[in-house]
Amino acid sequence: MKRGIFGGSFDPPHKGHISIALAAKKELGLDDVIIVPTGQAPHKPDISAQTHHRVNMCRDLCEKFRLSLSLYEAEKEGKSYTADLLRHFSLVYPGDEFYLIVGGDSLDYMDKWHTPEKIFPLCKVVVARRSGSADEKADFLREKYGAEIIYLNCGYFDYSSTEIREAVKSGKDISAHLFPETEEYIIKNKLYR
């Protein structure tokens, strides 16, 4: 099987995240896309919503859009690293092909991730471009690590979870960027206030 793996803080999960997951599934003919909310992300010490809230928001969207949800990182103690995540899935689903879905901003510093040399042999990297992301880094990763990098044809999403959190804090309308169930969850649980 061909499985997409899409990890992130999802703080909160927004329409851009789901559009990327669905575009990867369709464009690459993936059998499944697994959404993996992080527990303790080594490069994001400022996650706002508690893990169980982020998992619940992701679960609602996974059910709605027929995506899978993994709690591997959410339940893992200590820091979560991509190489460990890929090793975990290669043991759970031996023989499957893995497609690691990342944003263009993540691609720009993948060589600085923990043990990048262990990441690229385990997956193909699927990149959702953001404005400002460049191809030079992809060429560098291909040359240095033998990385196989695929760009998605989905549009740019020039808003982020950070901007959504700021908007909630300021009392601005966030409905354009969130699915109704996520917005309702945020309001009901008084997140990002």
Quote the number of domains for the chain: 1
Residue 179 inside a domain? The answer is: no
Please report which helix (H) or strand (E) contains residue 77, including its range: none
Residue 184 inside a domain? The answer is: no
Residue 51 inside a domain? The answer is: yes
Residue 85 inside a domain? The answer is: yes
pLDDT digits (tens, 9 = 90+) for 89-132: 999 999 999 999 998 888 889 999 999 999 999 999 999 876 55
pTM for the full predicted model: 0.92
| Domain housing 98 | 2-156
Q: What is the DSSP string of 19-71?
A: HHHHHHHHHHT-SEEEEEE-SB-TT-TT--S-HHHHHHHHHHHHHHHT-EE--
Residue 97 inside a domain? The answer is: yes
How far, in Å, CA of 36 to CA of 24, rounded? 15
Name the residue with tokens 């690590």: 145
CATH number at 48 reads: 3.40.50.620
Residue 162 inside a domain? The answer is: no
Q: What is the average pLDDT value for the chain, to the nearest integer?
A: 91
Residue 50 inside a domain? The answer is: yes
